[in-house]
Amino acid sequence: MNKGYAFGFFLILLVVVLGMYVAITGFMSSRDATQTQPPDEPAGPVAQASDTAAVPAASPSPTVFLLPTPDPAIVATLTAVAVATVTESAPPAESTEPPPPPATEPPPAEVPTDTPPPSQPPTPAPVPAYQFRLAGPAFPDPNFPNCCYIFGTVRDAAGNGLEGVQVQASNEWNSLPPAITKSGAEAGKYDITIGNDPVTWYLKVVDANGNQISTQVQVQFDPAVANGYRVDWQRSY
C-alpha cells in the first residue's frame, strides 16, 4: 500500500515537472519568435489613427489533463496554461497633411511721393474802393478869365466825357449844391462858382443820393494866384 502511494506521488511530481518544462519551453520559444520577426511594413499610405478602442485579446483558457495512477483512488490532474504572447504595439501613425501656412499681413499701402500740391484758387483782382479817381493833380489856371471857379472834366476809363455826373464842393463852413457835368459838345465838363476869399475847398464825386463815390481832393483857393483851379476826374472801372 505504501509503495502505491509512493509511486503515485512520484508520478504526480514527474507530471508537474514535465508540465513546468513544457510551459517554460513554450514561453521561451514564443519570445524568441517575437523578437526575430521583422515588423510589417505598410503596403499603402499610412492609415489615420482610429479613435475606436482596440478590442482586448481573449484570455487563455486552462487545459486539464487526467493522468492514470496505479491506485484507482488517486487521480493526478495536470493543468496546462498557454502563455500569452506579448506583442509590441505599433506607434501611432503620424499625420501626412502639411501644416497650414502662417498668416501674413498685407503689405502697407504705398504713399505716392509725387502728389501734386493742391491747386490754389485764383486771386481775385482788387476792386477799386470808389468808382472815380483823380485823373491828375489839382492845379491853378491863371488863364481862366472869370473869378472865381473850380472847374474840370469827368471822363470814363476810355477817356470819353460823362454827362450827368455830380461833383460837390464844401469847406469848413458850408457845402455847395453839386454841379452836374454837361452834355453835347461839352460832355463831361463842370464848373462851380465859389467866393473870392482864400478858402480851403474839398471836392468829391457823389451819386444821386449824395454818397461819396470818389476820392476826395483838397484845393487851397487863392484869387491872388488864379481865378480858377482845375480838377479832372476819371472812372476807375
Whether residue 144 contacts residue 227, with contact meaning beta carbons closer than 8 Å, is answered with yes
Question: Model-level pTM?
Answer: 0.47
Distance CA 88, CA 106 (A): 51
Most confident of 56-65, 72-81, 215-224: 215-224
Q: What is the mean pLDDT of residues 42-61?
A: 48
Name the CA dihedral angle for 211, 214, 220, 221, rounded to a multiple of 10 degrees.
-70
Q: What does the pLDDT look like over 159-172, one tens digit per residue? A: 999 999 999 999 99
Centre a 10 Å sphere on the Cβ of residue 69 and count the other Cβ atoms it contains: 17
Residue 77 cell numbers, joined = 490532474
Does a cis peptide bond (omega within 30 degrees of 0) precede residue 147?
A: no
Phi, psi of 67 (to 5 degrees): -105, 140
Site of grid cell 507530471: 15
The continuous run of DSSP H or E covering 34 comes out as helix 2-36
Q: Which residues contact 82 (CB under 8 A, 6 or more apart)?
A: 26, 60, 63
Closest C-alpha to 134, from 221, 227, 230 = 230
Amino acid present at 182? K
> What residues are paired with 92 via a beta bridge?
none
- The model's confidence at residue 156, banded by pLDDT at 50, 70 and 90, is very high
Whether residue 156 contacts residue 234, with contact meaning beta carbons closer than 8 Å, is answered with yes
- The model's confidence at residue 50, banded by pLDDT at 50, 70 and 90, is very low
Domains and CATH numbers, the chain: 1-36+60-88 (no CATH), 132-235 (2.60.40.10)
Residue 228 cell numbers, joined = 480858377
